[in-house]
């Protein structure tokens, strides 16, 4: 069945590069046909995604609600042309890739839509399709797609090595390890046991002392936003706290203006209606002030940390952000549907207590000579970034230099 609103990218079998991974069971081998089609709009994308099944392999960053929120908020200023790709195996809906064509200097780059506001890139997949698509064949199809848009480079960033139990078909072309890993850990039915096994006795005692100090303050509470008023209050605190922290530390802040507020607000309101289509906003409050916030989302059995913030005031020494995360994880452990903790990108000490670093990869397929030159420069830059981040000497130095630069920057 062909999805409504899908336009074939090529109709001739030779142009479609017919072929795919072989399905092998014992000595029997069956070849399935891979075909791509471009969907007309986000409504057509929603219809097609539904065909992948409710148990599809997915992360929220490529669900229809998320990419539509990104395009509404940033599409015009980023000058992105959405290229919403439906994948079929033997005419059955198999996967969805929300791509975008963007001009970056002299280059035309085909990459994931909203990549700069996502922690990982996976696409959406029918579970049975992941192991049936060969990366080499998918690469030929996507290369042909890129050439129809006169793209110089096909660039897919922050790819996990596996989707479920199968190798990721999107790990194609030239692979370079992403500078930042993602942090993944288990959730347990018994939070006390998880806390005991993940934190040393000294760490547990120290965190308990900090939490008691916060709880001793007036009107201590952990809040999950449930109303528009909650969202407005929590989001305002989040944005203000992020701005203060960026000014103090020099750490880049990707949430800086009205467009960013619109994007987050849209996803938070979507999350109110259906948890897996948007974001949830948590905060820790005491003495009438929000001291830390945490934006999270849910995908299947995975609790995902998206972004957070902390205040810089008299309560900062008590680590309100760490205490808030601990309480969110405790509630997640009580949810029988959650088994995995995903704390997103960025190597922070508090993440290593609950999770472990898992490498991600950037895939590049040059489509023109300009694309080849750009990939060469990009790969060298990514390797250098990864080495710096892994260095116990260089990375702390970079952070100190950022903080120094922030302090001397004119206000």
Q: Are residues 12 and 108 in the same domain?
A: yes
408 in a structural domain: no
Q: Are residues 306 and 365 in the same domain?
A: no
The span from the first CA to the last CA of the chain, in angstroms, equals: 59
Token pair recorded at residue 333: 């452990």
Tell me whether residue 372 is exposed, middle or buried, using C-beta atoms within 10 angstroms of its C-beta: 0 to 12, 13 to 18, 19 or more.
Answer: middle
Which 8-state DSSP code applies to residue 276? G
Decide if 181 contacts 359 (C-beta within 8 A).
yes
258 in a structural domain: yes
Token pair recorded at residue 295: 């934006």
DSSP line for 330-356 = HHHHT-TT--EEEEEES--HHHHHH-E
Handedness of CA 386, 389, 394, 398 (dihedral sign): positive
* Residues found in the chain: 411
Q: Are residues 364 and 343 in the same domain?
A: no
409 in a structural domain: no
Q: Are residues 293 and 151 in the same domain?
A: no
User: How distant, in Å, are the alpha carbons of 177, 355, 380, 393 from that of 387?
Assistant: 10, 21, 11, 11
Q: Which of 326, 357, 388 is the last residue of a domain?
A: 357
Q: Are residues 144 and 220 in the same domain?
A: no
> Which CATH number fits the domain that encloses residue 71?
3.40.630
Q: Are residues 196 and 257 in the same domain?
A: yes
Q: Are residues 189 and 102 in the same domain?
A: no
Query: What is the C-alpha separation between 253 and 256, in angstroms, rounded?
Result: 6
Tell me how many domains the chain contains. Answer: 2
Decide if 173 contacts 140 (C-beta within 8 A).
no
Query: What is the C-alpha separation between 266 and 235, in angstroms, rounded?
Result: 11
Q: Are residues 317 and 234 in the same domain?
A: yes
Q: Are residues 287 and 379 in the same domain?
A: no
Nearest Cα neighbor of 362 from 138, 151, 82, 161 is 161
Helix, coil or strand: residue 112 = strand
Task: Domain of residue 227: give its range.
Answer: 184-357
407 in a structural domain: no
pLDDT tens series, the chain, 411 aa: 334 456 655 433 333 333 334 444 444 435 679 999 999 999 999 999 999 998 899 899 999 999 999 999 998 888 899 999 999 999 999 999 999 999 988 899 999 999 999 999 999 999 999 999 999 999 999 999 999 999 999 999 999 999 988 999 999 988 888 888 999 999 999 999 999 999 999 999 999 999 999 999 999 999 999 999 999 999 999 999 999 888 877 777 888 889 999 999 999 999 887 777 799 999 999 999 999 999 999 999 999 999 999 999 999 999 999 999 999 999 999 999 999 999 999 888 899 999 999 999 999 999 999 888 877 676 667 666 666 766 667 656 656 666 566 555 555
411 in a structural domain: no
Q: Are residues 210 and 153 in the same domain?
A: no
pTM, rounded to two decimals: 0.85
Q: Are residues 192 and 317 in the same domain?
A: yes
Q: Are residues 216 and 337 in the same domain?
A: yes
CA 21 to chain centre: 27
Nearest Cα neighbor of 324 from 288, 289, 284 is 284
User: How distant, in Å, are the alpha carbons of 164, 347, 359, 371, 391 from that of 177?
Assistant: 20, 15, 7, 19, 15
SS3 for 17-59, per residue? Answer: CCCCCEEEECCEEEECCEEEEEECCHHHHHHHHHCCCCCCECC
């Amino acid at each position: 069945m062909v999805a409504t609103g899908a336009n074939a990218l090529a109709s001739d079998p030779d142009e479609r590069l017919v072929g795919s991974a072989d399905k092998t069971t014992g000595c029997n081998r069956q070849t399935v046909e891979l075909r791509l089609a471009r969907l007309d709009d986000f409504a057509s994308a929603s219809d097609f995604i539904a065909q992948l099944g409710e148990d599809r392999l997915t992360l929220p960053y490529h669900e229809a609600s998320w990419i539509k929120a990104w395009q509404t908020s940033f599409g015009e200023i980023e000058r992105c042309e959405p290229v919403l790709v439906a994948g079929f195996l033997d005419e059955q809906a198999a996967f969805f890739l929300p791509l975008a064509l963007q001009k970056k200097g002299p280059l035309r780059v085909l990459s994931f839509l909203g990549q700069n506001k996502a922690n990982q890139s996976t696409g959406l997949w029918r579970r049975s399709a992941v192991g049936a698509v060969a990366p080499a064949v998918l690469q030929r199809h996507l290369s042909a797609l890129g050439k129809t848009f006169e793209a110089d480079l096909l660039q897919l960033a922050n790819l996990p090595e596996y989707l479920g139990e199968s190798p990721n078909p999107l790990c194609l072309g030239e692979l370079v390890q992403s500078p930042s890993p993602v942090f993944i850990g288990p959730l347990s039915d018994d939070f006390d046991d998880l806390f005991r096994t993940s934190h040393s006795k000294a760490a547990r005692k120290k965190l308990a002392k900090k939490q008691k100090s916060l709880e001793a303050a007036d009107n201590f509470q952990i809040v999950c936003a449930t109303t528009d008023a909650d969202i407005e209050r929590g989001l305002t605190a989040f944005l203000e706290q992020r701005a203060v922290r960026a000014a103090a530390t020099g750490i880049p802040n990707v949430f800086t203006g009205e467009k960013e507020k619109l994007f987050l607000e849209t996803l938070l309101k979507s999350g109110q209606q259906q948890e897996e289509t948007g974001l949830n906003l948590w905060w820790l409050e005491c003495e009438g002030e929000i001291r830390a916030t945490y934006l999270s989302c849910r995908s299947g059995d995975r609790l995902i940390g998206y972004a957070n913030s902390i205040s810089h005031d008299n309560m900062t020494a008590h680590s309100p952000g760490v205490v808030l995360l601990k309480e969110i994880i405790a509630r997640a452990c009580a949810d029988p549907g959650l088994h995995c903790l995903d704390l997103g990108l960025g190597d922070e000490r508090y993440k290593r207590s609950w999770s472990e670093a898992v490498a991600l990869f950037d895939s590049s397929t040059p489509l023109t000579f300009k694309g080849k030159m750009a990939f060469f420069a990009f790969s060298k830059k990514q390797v250098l970034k990864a080495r710096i981040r892994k260095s116990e000497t260089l990375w702390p130095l970079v952070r100190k230099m950022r903080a120094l630069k922030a302090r001397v920057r004119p206000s």
